[in-house]
């Protein structure tokens, strides 16, 4: 039903906006861009057509309507951030191909130790770390079986009665879902809205936000949100007590089954570590040796096709492995950036700025908090990629209208768009844990509403107090 409504609503909104100039009072070019944006955004939200296919529509709609020329419409699909993400995805595929992600997760669990609260802490840390580099969906799908296996071991050891076990299980599984979303906030490749932020900043504002800058800004926020998640889950919402160690041998047994670290895992780990170190430390190198984040990402990705694998013939990565790369997501990036470029070139951004200029009478802190809450509620029922693609260009207009740093407004939108904790449909990690027999919708709503509230408070505070220091516009 939603798709059928969207299929008709998108062209209808386009026609009303484009063919009835009196509705907006805009000149031809910005009116065309607004009309195309409404059509594409409606089909993104309702999934009237496959999202990657919808993302190709700006290539022909913008030139046909006069919103932007073909060069402007198509150049965005080759934005450097798109290729940085492609490189990151390739490294993530190699990590998954050689089971390095499992070893990392088990190593973190074994280091944290046993005990109900420690197991939850280990799960949160392992999930969040992996989500910094691998998509939140893949991270959650990998960690879910680990969480379920831990629960079954506790049941087998008869540490808890069934009611207590179910309460512990709810906290553990929801921690996986929430940590998968929170962990991605820390890096530019950890969450799609972060990458949209960086790409729009570079394309529309001429300001390159590096991996290191974003990490400096967002990693303390991520750490605080993870700490809040741990305390809330283990001390308040799903508190359980036990005098015995539980699951003490689980991580060690899983590591034993994985066996000694093979050459392939070591090689992928070396590439992964080198890329991460260069992303964070490239700014400290002499100017002649300094590389962009995109170049670093692609060097790491290409090297995986050169380094040999010892298990049979071949290399660490072969081209058939790239079938699992989320090509559709790269097209979605391109579509959003194409619209953002048209916003700027047509003057639509300035129009939004004038429209929203009246908000400058409000305290900036109030605008930030309200924007965080609105975006967070939107992303509960909409794709975070669609939300960020639609709102980040508009956010530039809002910032211009109220005389604020555009990066502050864009950061609020990007971070809030990744924080959806109340509904199974909000994020793939939420849907993944909901598929287990332990989580009901009211469990997710009651737990998620408080994590949402913490997210609004912490994101607003960090944008107001830390962003001007760590990542000034």
Q: What distance in Å separates the CA atoms of residue 268 and residue 98, rounded to the nearest whole number?
A: 8
**276-306 pLDDT tens trace:** 888 888 777 777 777 888 899 999 999 999 9
**The overall pTM is greater than 0.95:** no
Are the CB atoms for 184 and 136 separated by under 8 Å?
A: yes
Instruction: Name the domain count of the chain.
Output: 1
Banded model confidence at residue 114, pLDDT cuts 50, 70, 90: low
Q: Name which of 83-92, 229-238, 281-290, 413-422 the model is least confident about.
A: 281-290
Residue 199, pLDDT > 70, answer yes
SS3 of the chain? CHHHHHHHHHHHHHHHHHHCHHHCCCCHHHHHHHHHHHHHHHHHHHCCCCHHHHCCHHHHHHHHHCCCCHHHHHHHHHCHHHHHHHHHHHHHHHHHHCCHHHHHHHHHHHHHCCCHHHHHHHHHHHHHHHHCCCCHHHHHHHHHHHHHHHHHHHHHHCCCCHHHHHHHHHHHHHHHHHHHHHHHHHCCCCCHHHHHHHHHHHHHHCCCCCHHHHHHHHHHHHHHHHHHHHHHHHHHHCCCCCCCCCCCCHHHHHHHHHCCCCHHHHHHHHHHHHHHHHHHHHHHCCHHHCCCHHHHHHHHHHHHCCCECCCCCCECCCHHHHHHCCHHHHHHHHHHHHHHHHHHHHCHHHHHHHHCHHHHHCCHHHHHHHHHHHHHHHHHHCCHHHHHHHHHHHHHHHHHHHCCCHHHHHHHHHHHHCCCCCCCCCCHHHHHHHCCCCCCHHHHHHHHHHHHHHHHHHHHHHHHHCHHHHCCC
The residue whose two tokens read 């009611």 is 163
**123-173 pLDDT tens trace:** 899 899 989 988 888 888 888 888 887 787 777 766 677 787 788 889 889
Residue at 259 is within a domain: yes
pLDDT at 252: 76
Residue 246, pLDDT > 60, answer no
pLDDT at 201: 93
Q: What distance in Å separates the CA atoms of residue 201 and residue 92, rounded to the nearest whole number?
A: 25
Residue at 292 is within a domain: yes
Q: Name which of 93-107, 124-138, 165-179, 233-247 the model is least confident about.
A: 233-247
What is the token pair recorded at 103? 């070893």
Q: Name which of 107-111, 186-190, 299-303, 367-371 the model is least confident about.
A: 107-111
Q: Name which of 264-273, 296-305, 426-435 the model is least confident about.
A: 426-435
Q: What average pLDDT does range 39-51 have in this prediction?
A: 89
Are the CB atoms for 59 and 338 separated by under 8 Å?
A: yes
pLDDT at 115: 63
**332-361 pLDDT tens trace:** 888 988 998 898 899 888 888 777 777 778
pLDDT at 39: 95
Find, among 451, 462, 453, the residue nearest to 414 by Cα: 462
Contacts of 423 (CB under 8 A, 6+ apart): 380, 381, 430, 441, 444, 445, 448
Residue at 147 is within a domain: yes
Residue at 397 is within a domain: no
pLDDT at 236: 86
Q: Name which of 182-196, 257-271, 295-309, 380-394 the model is least confident about.
A: 380-394
Residue 243, pLDDT > 60, answer no
pLDDT at 198: 92
Residue 254, pLDDT > 80, answer no
Instruction: Please report how many Cα atoms fall inside a 13 Å half-sphere around the Cα of residue 403, on the Cβ side.
Output: 5
pLDDT at 224: 96
pLDDT at 240: 72
Residue at 110 is within a domain: yes
Q: What average pLDDT does range 453-472 have in this prediction?
A: 92
149, 161, 189 from 176: Cα distances, Å: 13, 23, 19
pLDDT at 432: 82
Q: What distance in Å separates the CA atoms of residue 224 and residue 89, rounded to the nearest whole number?
A: 27
Helix axes 211-231, 441-465, angle to 10 degrees: 140
Residue at 48 is within a domain: no
196: containing domain: 81-324
Banded model confidence at residue 84, pLDDT cuts 50, 70, 90: confident
pLDDT at 381: 75
116, 161, 171, 242 from 164: Cα distances, Å: 11, 5, 11, 10
Which stretch, 129-143, 255-269, 402-416, has highest mean pLDDT?
402-416
Q: Name which of 94-98, 104-108, 418-422, 428-432 the model is least confident about.
A: 104-108
Contacts of 140 (CB under 8 A, 6+ apart): 127, 176, 177, 180, 428, 429, 432, 433
What is the token pair recorded at 235? 């001390």
Q: Kindly report the number of other CB atoms within 10 A of residue 285's CB atom.
A: 11
pLDDT at 248: 54
CA quadruple 379, 376, 440, 243: dihedral positive or negative? positive
Q: What average pLDDT does range 38-60 have in this prediction?
A: 91
Find, among 42, 136, 134, 37, the residue nearest to 382 by Cα: 42
Residue at 64 is within a domain: no
- If you average pLDDT over every residue of the chain, what do you get? 87
Residue at 159 is within a domain: yes
Specify the higher pLDDT residue, 65 or 387: 65
pLDDT at 373: 93
């Amino acid at each position: 039903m939603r798709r059928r409504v969207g299929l008709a609503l998108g062209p209808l909104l386009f026609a009303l906006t484009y063919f009835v100039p009196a509705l907006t009072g805009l000149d031809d070019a910005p009116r065309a861009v607004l009309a195309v944006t409404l059509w594409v955004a409606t089909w993104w939200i309702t999934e009237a057509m496959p999202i990657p296919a919808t993302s190709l529509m700006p290539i022909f709609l913008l030139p046909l309507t006069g919103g932007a020329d073909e060069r402007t419409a198509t150049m965005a699909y080759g934005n450097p951030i798109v290729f940085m993400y492609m490189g990151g995805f390739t490294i993530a595929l190699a990590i998954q191909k050689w089971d390095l992600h499992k070893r990392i997760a088990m190593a973190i669990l074994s280091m944290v130790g046993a005990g109900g609260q420690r197991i939850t802490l280990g799960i949160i840390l392992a999930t969040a770390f992996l989500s910094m580099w691998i998509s939140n969906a893949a991270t959650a799908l990998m960690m879910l079986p680990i969480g379920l296996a831990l629960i079954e071991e506790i049941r087998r050891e008869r540490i808890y009665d069934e009611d207590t076990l179910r309460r512990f299980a709810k906290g553990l599984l929801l921690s996986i879902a929430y940590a998968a979303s929170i962990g991605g906030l820390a890096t530019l490749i950890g969450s799609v809205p972060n990458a949209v932020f960086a790409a729009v900043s570079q394309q529309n504002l001429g300001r390159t936000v590096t991996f290191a800058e974003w990490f400096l800004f967002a990693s303390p926020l991520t750490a605080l949100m993870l700490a809040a998640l741990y305390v809330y889950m283990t001390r308040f919402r799903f508190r359980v007590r036990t005098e015995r160690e539980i699951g003490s041998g689980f991580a060690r047994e899983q590591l034993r089954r994985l066996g000694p670290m093979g050459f392939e895992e070591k090689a992928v780990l070396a590439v992964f570590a080198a890329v991460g170190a260069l992303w964070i430390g490239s700014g400290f190198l002499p100017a002649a040796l300094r590389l962009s984040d995109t170049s670093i990402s692609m060097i790491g990705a290409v090297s995986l096709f050169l380094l040999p694998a010892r298990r049979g013939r071949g290399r660490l990565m072969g081209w058939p492995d790239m079938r699992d790369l989320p090509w559709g997501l790269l097209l979605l990036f391109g579509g959003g950036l194409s619209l953002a470029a048209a916003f700027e070139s047509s003057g639509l951004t300035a129009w939004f700025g004038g429209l929203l200029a009246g908000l400058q009478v409000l305290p900036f802190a109030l605008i930030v908090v309200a924007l965080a809450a609105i975006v967070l509620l939107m992303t509960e029922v909409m794709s975070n990629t669609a939300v960020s693609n639609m709102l980040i260009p508009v956010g530039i207009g809002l910032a211009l209208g109220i005389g604020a740093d555009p990066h502050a407004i864009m950061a609020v939108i990007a971070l809030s768009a990744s924080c959806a904790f109340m509904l199974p449909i909000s994020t793939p990690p939420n849907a993944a844990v909901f598929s287990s027999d332990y989580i009901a919708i009211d469990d997710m709503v009651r737990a998620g509403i408080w994590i949402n509230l913490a997210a609004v408070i912490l994101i607003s505070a960090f944008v107001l107090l830390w962003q001007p220091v760590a990542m000034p516009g």
